[in-house]
Structure 1
Amino acid sequence: MKKQWDNPVEYTMPEGVRVPASMDIGGVVVAPATVLAPMAGVTDTVFRRFIRNASLFAEGGAGAANVDREVTNQQSGCGLIMTEFTSADGLSKMRESKRKRYLTFYEDEHPIAAQLFGSNPETLAEGARIVEDTGFDMVDLNLGCPAKRVVACNGGSGLLRDLPLIAKIFEAVRGAVKIPFTVKFRLGWNDQHIICVPLARLAEESGLNAVSLHARTREQGYSGQARWEHIAEVKDAVRIPVIGNGDVRTPEDACALVAKTGCDGVMIGRAAPANPWIFRQIAQYTATGRYDEPSEADRYQMIRTYFEMLLDEGREDEHASRAAEGKMKQFASWFTHGVPGGAGLRKSIYEAKTGPKILDAVERFFETRLSGEALEPLQRMEDVPEDFPAMDSAACAG
């Protein structure tokens, strides 16, 4: 999944149009109507709670006084969070103790949806039952992931070539659970096979409670522009909530998406790891027409908080401990984007051998910057190795 966007369009605030205060998905109120996209290798429980906390409006905190509670409808700027996509086939076969690694969530994550992928209707129905029994508020079907290994199994966007099979999956999953059932999909396999409107209608006819559309084809991957006009077509075609996704990088983008498509909610993927404050900024912008940009001190606090959360999660679990160190290095390239001298920080993180040493590198770097002292040579851009790890190439925002 690319961190950068291809020639992003710059939008201004549309007159009189805002991101909706809420939307109702099968009786679950999502307020405000913003959604953290499911992203493989990204939206685990630590990142989800991190985003939810980054979106909170603390009483008396920055921006809190500017946000109209009647507009945002709650104290968090992120209305719904979603898990990484999880194999339904894997869920049905693995031990219950192992399932917890994939389906762990905490009470402060509600409302939360679990996303499944697969191609067998019965297996997906069983996976949905497991999701419901675990206590999730919704179950979502992934019909958008473009990753080759997923498509090769006829999962994710691979299913976009087989509407009859999708219909069977919809029927099986809808019949298996009582919680809201939603689907996230792309425009189609390629430009010669755009099926978003008939697929949305099929979802509505099958009893699904909402649809999310990433306005690119599978063939596009994450390249080119998201074609929002197709989100508008889907919105015109169905009465269930339609959530728009694709190229939302700023609050202005979120409002422009609503203005151009009439969508009921906005889903944000790639922008969230790069700017964890984006949901709070959207809520501020919706209420006031302006929003606060994070300071360097804010960014330091953000990086340190997330890394500390990762380390805490790994203290009692060796697998989680190794995963935490990997994620700290993986996310460094997102979190330090735009930080003066950030290349040197990324290098020192990359070279650190343990999680605590990574955290030490972050603290040394920002304490030096915030104290106004001169940077050490380590922070020079040319010191960054060419093979510095970026976001997991298998990450999938659907």
Structure 2
Amino acid sequence: MKKRYTLEQKRWDSPIEHAMPEHSRVPASFTIGNVTIAPATVLAPMAGVTDTVFRRFIKNASQFTPESTSTDVETTQSNQQSGCGLIMTEFTSADGLSRMRETKRKRYLTYYDDEHPISAQLFGSNPETLADSARIVQDAGFDLVDLNLGCPAKRVVACNGGSGLLRDLPQIERIFKAIRSAVTIPFTVKFRMGWNDHHIVCVELAKLAEDNGLNACALHARTREDGYTGQARWEYIAAVKDAVNIPVIGNGDIRTPEDAAAMVEATHCDAVMIGRTAPANPWIFRQIAQYTASKEATGIGTYDIPTNEDRYRMIRTYFQMLVDEIAIEEAAEAARAAAIEASGQIARDQRHRDCVGKMKQFASWFTHGVPGGGALRKQIFESKNGPAVLDAIERFFEAQSHNAESENAAMEPDESLLTSAAYCD
């Protein structure tokens, strides 16, 4: 059976439950080149997920201010008290980026001021094209540029991109040299352990990165053949950390704050990267920050568990941000020359379809754990446009709130009955 690498199928295989580590916690900060990342948590680049709306949404969902009694912790949890220290773009084709028009390029590289620090991830196999694209990224104002050597998708690997390059270390070195000579901003790489268990190259690749002037590396502790199955093998993150002096970011199977602390304890990595947990639990970065702060203050790591009301606000906020982003794009497009009005209409229609499609895509993650979430997913999937989706969300959670109030009222004792019972006694 062929493997498919879509986020919807990236479920964990018998995930390990990590106990609360006694001493370790995610570091307050680390440095990549001249960029300080605080705290040491990174949102992984995910195709079809980490666009500007989702990145800003994660930044907002991650906001966390320690209790006023934890002033010492507050000084260590910087970056505006956000639990997410670094965000990354969806991986972008270097070939496409170098060929596309400036207007279309801006759409792929759109970000806002509140997203800093932000890294743009590129994939490709041609050193010169990747170098050109890295210059474009630098000129666009990104803080870092990252090379994707981890994507296992067949269409990417077929072009010798992503994890396909793991079978050709000499070509990787040529790419490293070309990009490093092209830009002055920090340059990082994200890769997997190797092509398969018979071809593990992560330590050699990390050394190659360090020797060619890269500023950090991130390891997803699985092979390309693994895809997203089985357990991430953190011992390889530890091996990479032991082999190089540049910062090492660990990635793979972080679902809870305890997992993040356990990875740091097991591997001594400088930071943790979180991918598929983020769409299902956008609070994960805030929870890690809370866990770290409370552990610093009291020795016991604690964090908030989202309520249904939290989930309602989260779903409503993200979907509203999608609708608002379309309005911004449409306003910009309306200012263009009337000569492109016809093509503009096609673009607007496509954006609305993309918006509703993304809402449906995220519905399965965001409603995970919500009682009766299947009914909400059904309503979202049947909606034809953004406002209809928002209306479905309002009606669903209003009904839930009403039901909860009715249940609470039913559970409250009747004072008249209590009084009568007292008289009988």
Q: Is TM-score (shorter-chain normalized) higher than 0.5?
A: yes
Task: For 1:346 and 1:194, locate their aligned partners in 2 and report how far apart those are by CA, in whole Å.
Answer: 41
Task: For 2:255 and 2:353, locate their aligned partners in 1 and report how far apart those are by CA, in whole Å.
Answer: 31
Partner of 1:291: 303
List structure 1 runs of 4+ shifted beyond 4 angstroms.
63-67
Structure with greater helix percent: 2
Q: Greater RCO between the two (CA within 8 Å, min separation 6)?
A: 1
Conserved? CA contact 1:313–1:320, under 8 Å = no
Partner of 1:154: 160
Partner of 1:120: 126
TM-score norm. by structure 1 comes to 0.91
For the residue of structure 2 that corresponds to 1:213, the secondary structure is strand
Between structure 1 and structure 2, the one with the greater Rg is 2
Q: Counterparts of 1:25-104 in structure 2 under 5 Å?
A: 25-57=32-64, 68-74=73-79, 75-104=81-110
Q: Deviations over 1:189-231 (max 9, x none)?
A: 0000000000000000000000000000000000000000000
Task: For 2:191 and 2:112, locate their aligned partners in 1 and report how far apart those are by CA, in whole Å.
Answer: 27
Partner of 1:381: none
Conserved? CA contact 1:11–1:252, under 8 Å = yes
1:309 correspondence with 2:321: yes
1:16 positional shift: 1.1
Unpaired runs of 5+ in structure 1? 376-398
**CA distance 1:212–1:132, change in 2 (3 Å):** same
For the residue of structure 1 that corresponds to 2:91, the secondary structure is strand
Conserved? CA contact 1:22–1:33, under 8 Å = yes
**CA distance 1:29–1:234, change in 2 (3 Å):** same
1:65 positional shift: 6.6
The letter for the 2-side match of 1:70 is T
For the residue of structure 1 that corresponds to 2:139, the secondary structure is helix
1:336 correspondence with 2:367: yes
Partner of 1:384: none
Partner of 1:395: none
1:245 positional shift: 0.1
Task: For 1:168 and 1:374, locate their aligned partners in 2 and report how far apart those are by CA, in whole Å.
Answer: 64
Unpaired runs of 5+ in structure 2? 1-6, 295-300, 331-347, 407-425
Conserved? CA contact 1:313–1:321, under 8 Å = no
1:66 positional shift: 6.1
Which residue, 168, 173, 176 being the options, matches 1:167? 173
Conserved? CA contact 1:78–1:280, under 8 Å = yes
Conserved? CA contact 1:26–1:180, under 8 Å = yes
Q: Counterparts of 1:121-270 in structure 2 under 5 Å?
A: 121-270=127-276
For the residue of structure 2 that corresponds to 1:17, the secondary structure is coil
The letter for the 2-side match of 1:40 is A
1:366 positional shift: 0.6
1:353 positional shift: 0.9
Conserved? CA contact 1:66–1:284, under 8 Å = no
Q: Deviations over 1:315-356 (max 9, x none)?
A: 243143221111001000000011110001000100111110
Partner of 1:8: 15
1:72 positional shift: 1.7
Conserved? CA contact 1:129–1:176, under 8 Å = yes
Query: RMSD over aligned Cα, in angstroms?
Result: 1.5
Conserved? CA contact 1:368–1:374, under 8 Å = no
Task: For 1:247 and 1:35, locate their aligned partners in 2 and report how far apart those are by CA, in whole Å.
Answer: 14
TM-score norm. by structure 2 comes to 0.86
Conserved? CA contact 2:61–2:282, under 8 Å = yes
Conserved? CA contact 2:55–2:87, under 8 Å = yes
Partner of 1:367: 398
**Percent of matched pairs sharing the same residue:** 72
The letter for the 2-side match of 1:23 is F
